[in-house]
Amino acid sequence: MLASGVAAGIFAGIAFGGDWRRLSTFTLKLWPVLVIALALRAIGTVVPSSPLELYLVSLLGVAVVAAWNWRVPGAVLLAFGTFLNLAVAVLNSGMPYDAATVAAVAAQPPNDGLHVPVGPATRLEFLSDVIPVAPIRSVFSLGDFLVGLGGFLIPFMWLQPAAAAMRGGDLRSPNFAFFWMGQAISRFGDPITLIALTYVTYRATQSALLTALAVLTATIPNALFGFFGGAVADAIGHRRVMLWCDILRAIVLAVVP
């Protein structure tokens, strides 16, 4: 997932107006550790019978380098996802995978020293390879998705030009006043929408569990994308991001029966 995320981040960064020449200026602290970790993982790919310790050292190396470079946008997600995978692999003497899910997406069962089938004694099963991605016939863990997202953001954000600083006079602009009023109204409506969602869900289902799940589903995007949403807006453009997000939100709310 890391390699795929990085490749997608480079492609998207250039597509959104980034300068590919900025890649030559990218630096990472402890980069030799990352090179060694990736080399160990490559050995594990070429030699499937490699011991589990090789994979664990590789994961640890990637996690340490990502955590050490936490100021780089996307590095925290990369570190967190890698640490999740590492913790699950250590607790279960391997990375568990759900054989039924693998068969459901017609994927090949893992045949290496890292993966082990999910069993009754599996710990933190929800963090194992249990998330199917049918279009590419693969099964991933939550940590894998975080690793891929972090790997995407690192080159994507690096390729974007630096955002211009706001001048003091901009705050007194009539356009800013209209923008502020519009956002205030929008922010006032958000909690009302959440309250209405809670009420309608409970009236329709009479289920506390489904109501809680509905509220959780509505709040997860803010909790998840809030970590890097500002950085993405800086890279793509504040006005463009706000405009399209509000348009998409209006469309989604409009189609709710």
State the DSSP string of 180-245: HHHHHHHHHHHHHHHHHHHHHHHHHH--HHHHHHHHHHHHHHHHHHTTTHHHHHHHH-HHHHHHHH
The per-residue pLDDT for range 90-143, each reduced to its tens digit, is 999 999 998 988 998 888 888 888 999 999 998 988 788 988 888 888 888 888
Q: How far is CA 139 from CA 31, 94, 245, in A?
A: 29, 15, 30
Q: Which amino acid is at 253?
A: L
Q: Residues 78, 61: contact at Cβ < 8 Å?
A: no
Q: What is the pLDDT of residue 60?
A: 96
d(CA 186, CA 151): 33
pLDDT for 231 beyond 70: yes
The per-residue pLDDT for range 1-51, each reduced to its tens digit, is 788 889 988 988 888 778 888 888 888 999 999 999 999 999 998 998 899
* Single pTM value for the model: 0.67
Cα R_g (the chain), whole angstroms: 22
CA dihedral sign of residues 225, 226, 227, 229: positive
The per-residue pLDDT for range 207-216, each reduced to its tens digit, is 766 776 777 7
Q: Is 106 left (phi over 0), alpha (psi -120 to 50) or beta?
A: left
